[in-house]
Amino acid sequence: MMTRAKTGAAAAVVRAPRGRLKKRLKASVTGWLFILPMTFGICVFTLLPIIQSLYYSFFDYNLVSRFDFVGFGNYADIFSGDPEMGKVIVNTLLFALVNIPVTLVGSYLLALLLNVNVKGIKVFRVLYYLPCTMPAIVSGIVWSYIMRYNVETPGLFNQFLAALGLPMSHFFYADNFGAVASIVLMNLWSLGGGTIIWLAQFKNIPKQLYEAAEIDGASAMRRFFSITLPMSTPMIFYNLITNFIVTLQFNGTLTFAPNNGLGNGQATYMFGLKIYHEAFRRSNMGYACALAWVLVVIVGLVTVLLFKTNKWVQYDN
């Protein structure tokens, strides 16, 4: 009797976890069935392409007839041998160095303006965002007319300059750094996109901080530099990184710059466009993959560098 009771209890003890395991496994089947489409999607459209891309980058591959192993040949070409790379790197760096600060500071100032508490401010928040709803291809077309350089039929900006008695500008059609500067100028019209995120950050700043500052008699200027700006640093940091990644991949010049986006004298030829051009215009698939991996390494290095020097970012707890 005693023994039977004992074994029965022991069996129950053993059965309980086995039952739980069975239940867990059964539940896991449901979980995996749910996650199956995503797993398939990631494998086919992300994971496999990543591996293939790395593999192709060691080949001279033109999609049709050539598939020759070249070792690090493509990578060597990028750093020495490709005569276009010098121009591409200078243009990309210049664009990043001017565009990122202008975009960040500009949208931040705009957000400060839109953060005031007056009647109808919500309408202005929407109005300022509307230029961003214009698809890139449309704004490319529109801006190529606005910035058109043609002595007989000058674009709007050149009509404006002429009316002021100033010399006409080539804008996108310039064969020097003026072309990149024109892109930065055009980007000012999409500053409203960044303000949305800044406004959210402002909303997250505790009201008590401002109330306390007001009691202490701090001026509006002082409140901005001691509260608003320091409290925005996490978002500034995030925007800096994402802006950098987007800027390096930028190939939007396709929609407005002459010569398929390359610009006159390759003045708007940048890294993102270079990859697009090598892959889809010249069918240098292997070389395009190598370029993409160089971009990944650069993005990775700069991100690490930014994280190592982020002492100025104030994370609140």
Partner 1 sequence: MRLVFHIVLYFFLVLIAVILLFPYGFMINRGLMSNSWILDSYMHYWTDGLNFSNYVQAFSDGGYGTPLVYSVIVCAIVFVSVPLSSMIAAYAFAKLEWIGRNFMFAFMMLTALLPGIVTQVPLYVLYNNLGMTNTLLPLFLPGIFFAGAMNVFLTRQFLMSVPREMEESAKLDGANALVRCFVIAAPMCAPILIYLGVSAFIASWGDYLTPSMYNNSVDAPYTLAYALYDMTGRETNSTHPEWIFAAATITSLVPTILFTVFQKYLIEGIQTAGLSS
Which positions from 99 through 158 interact with partner 1, judged by CB under 8 A?
110, 113, 116, 118, 121, 124, 126-131, 133-139, 141-143, 145-146, 148, 152-156
Looking at beta carbons only, is 161 or 177 nearer to partner 1? Answer: 161
Tokens 């050149």, located at residue: 158
Looking at beta carbons only, is 189 or 224 nearer to partner 1? Answer: 189
Closest CB 290 distance from partner 1, rounded Å: 10
Question: Could you give the CA distance from residue 248 to residue 292 in angstroms, rounded to a whole number?
Answer: 11
Looking at beta carbons only, is 52 or 314 nearer to partner 1? Answer: 52
Binding piece for partner 1, criterion CB under 8 A, among 8-16, 74-82, 86-94, 286-294: 286-294
In angstroms, the Cα distances linking 209 to 197, 223, 228, 313 are 21, 9, 10, 18
Question: Could you give the CA distance from residue 309 to residue 315 in angstroms, rounded to a whole number?
Answer: 14
Is the Cβ–Cβ distance between 155 and 145 less than 8 Å? yes
Looking at beta carbons only, is 4 or 119 nearer to partner 1? Answer: 119
Q: Taking the CB of residue 158, how many other CB atoms lie within 10 A of it?
A: 22
In angstroms, the Cα distances linking 193 to 119, 126, 131, 203 are 22, 10, 9, 17
Binding piece for partner 1, criterion CB under 8 A, among 89-97, 191-199, 205-213, 222-230: 191-199
Closest CB 178 distance from partner 1, rounded Å: 20
**Does residue 88 bind partner 1 (CB under 8 A)?**
no
Tokens 């019209």, located at residue: 189
Using the rule CB under 8 A, which residue among 93, 200, 301, 304 binds partner 1? 200
Closest CB 176 distance from partner 1, rounded Å: 24
**Does residue 233 bind partner 1 (CB under 8 A)?**
no
Q: How many residues bind partner 1 (CB under 8 A)?
A: 88
Closest CB 269 distance from partner 1, rounded Å: 16
Is the Cβ–Cβ distance between 312 and 72 less than 8 Å? no
Question: Could you give the CA distance from residue 164 to residue 156 in angstroms, rounded to a whole number?
Answer: 13
Using the rule CB under 8 A, which residue among 201, 243, 247, 253 binds partner 1? 201
**Does residue 307 bind partner 1 (CB under 8 A)?**
no
Q: Under 8 Å CB-to-CB from 269, ≥6 apart: which residues?
A: 84, 87, 88, 91, 261, 262, 263
Beta bridge partners of 69: 59
**Does residue 59 bind partner 1 (CB under 8 A)?**
no
